[in-house]
Amino acid sequence: MYRHALQDLHSWKSSSNRKPLIIRGARQVGKTFLIRLFAEDNFDHLVEINFERDPEISTIFSSKDPEKILPLLELQFDVSIKPGETLLFLDEIQAAPKVLSTLRYFYEEMPDLHVIAAGSLLDFALEEPAFSMPVGRVEYMHLGPMQFEEFLIAAGKGRHADFLNNLAPGEEIPEPIHKQLLALLKIFLVTGGMPEAIAVYLESKSWQQCESIKQSLLLTYQDDFSKYQGRVPHQRLVRVFKKLPVLAGQKFKYVNVDRNERSADLDRALTMLCRARVAYKVLHSSCNGVPLGATINDRKFKVLFLDVGLMSTASGLSLLDYEKAEDVMMVNAGSVCEQFIGQRLLFSRQPYFEPELNYWVREKKNSSAEVDYVVSEGQAIAPIEVKAGKSGTLKSLHLFLVEKSLPLGVRFNSDIPSLMTLDALLPGGQNLNYRLLSLPLYLAGQTRRFIRQCFGDG
């Protein structure tokens, strides 16, 4: 299946400043498949080593000398390894952290050889005292679940994906096409973006088989918890993991996980799940300027689950639940759609950026306000609300725009897209004149492009 990351891999391959590439992402998001597909079209040979499956091969790298390592690999795999013709792929490299430190020598002494490493639990290797990251000698790519546009291409709806990618802010979408895209989105909210779940559904058209795959994936993540032993008790990890789909999009309170556990212990478990990239914290930022991360408060945060399809499964939702809902935004009180938008925004920047996302909250005794997400493009800051209905209240967005003196707000709902100049009267009598970019959910992948174009930079 096509992934947008293939374009980034092509750019990496042809770059004159290329370094060994480390692909980071949760288990089962498609890292190995992506590299195999990339190698098939761009190299004569692929030498693939999985250090979880074949840990003893790590001894070949003990010399840290590429001139000595390559002949041994050629002997092991009975293949010639030639720079420019061979891709060396080091999979599940977190199982052999000492091998990861040798990447600096491939960069310094054999820069013409294309080397890619991947790891699903790499952040745990980084905690080891003896571990040494080759800082400045490697580059990163962050891979998440498949995006809606990628799902469309896989489903044979490439024209629909092209249509979305070429749409302008505020451009009208005919009602029949709008309904088609909403119907396809409902399917995606159930399949989610895990490649295996999508592939099984598209091949079999069986929701039962798709659900079976997703249940297996959820169990796979729980089985991985045994690898965290010594850090956090297994049952505590399972408890937090199972609560995440229910708490997605809410301000995270440890008491909502288990009132009998200490907050510090639950926080350690959540941190482990974030390091495994099955969960992501959305941190509060005061949003007074860019970068947004410069003014975060790490004690105020929401949590997103890895994938909206896995969230639907863990919450017991099926396509019928989405079909029966008068507005898809109302399913699970809107938490599924907030997860979908957040999940897309997390991976909406270039893949060398660490996935991160912020929100804004103002808590006062007699006045509270919260904006679901806030993103920045260049120096421009835009608040984003996920609101049901055509005229859902935007009081928090209005307050944010006034406090930060910003001209543009973004709203996601199920209506057709629009770009309007509006006037709003705030409770204190202050008048607000601003532009509202209102987008249907299926345009989440175009958010940053639209913001750039609205600010005149696109």
Which pair of tokens denotes residue 91?
Answer: 């999979």
User: Residue 194, Cβ neighbours under 10 Å: how many?
Assistant: 25
Q: Are 107 and 138 in contact (CB under 8 A)?
A: yes
- Could you please state the CATH topology (level 3) that the domain comprising 5-142 is classified under: Rossmann fold (3.40.50)
Decide: helix, strand or coil at residue 111: coil
For residues 87-94, give the mean pLDDT.
96
Residue holding tokens 């912020």? 358
Structure confidence by residue, pLDDT tens digits, 216-257: 999 999 998 887 767 789 899 999 999 999 999 889 999 999
pLDDT of 245 reads 95
Q: Give tens-digit pLDDT for 180-221.
A: 999 999 999 999 999 999 999 999 999 999 999 999 999 999
340: β partners: none
In this predicted structure, the answer to whether residue 124 has a pLDDT above a threshold of 90 is: no
Q: What is the pLDDT of residue 225?
A: 85
Instruction: Provide mean pLDDT across the span 124-141.
Output: 77
Average pLDDT over residues 288-307: 96
Lowest model confidence (mean pLDDT) among 34-38, 123-127, 288-292: 123-127
Q: What is the pLDDT of residue 337?
A: 96
145 sits in the region (left: phi over 0; alpha: psi -120 to 50; else beta) called beta
Structure tokens at 14: 């042809």
129 pLDDT above the threshold of 80? no
Contacts of 215 (CB under 8 A, 6+ apart): 313
* Percent residues over pLDDT 90 in the chain: 85
Mean pLDDT, the chain, rounded, equals 93
Listed by start position, the domains of the chain span 5-142, 149-454
pLDDT tens across 28-64, in order? 999 999 999 999 999 999 999 999 999 999 999 999 9
Give 56's contacts (C-beta < 8 A, 6+ positions apart).
none
pLDDT category of residue 70 using cuts at 50, 70 and 90 = very high
The pLDDT score that the predictor gives to residue 130 is 58
| Among 361, 354, 283, 273, residue whose Cα is nearest residue 310 | 273
For the segment 406-447, what is each residue's pLDDT rounded down to a tens digit? 999 999 999 999 999 999 988 778 899 999 999 999 999 999
Tokens representing 157 are: 């709806």
- Rounded average pLDDT over 87-98: 93
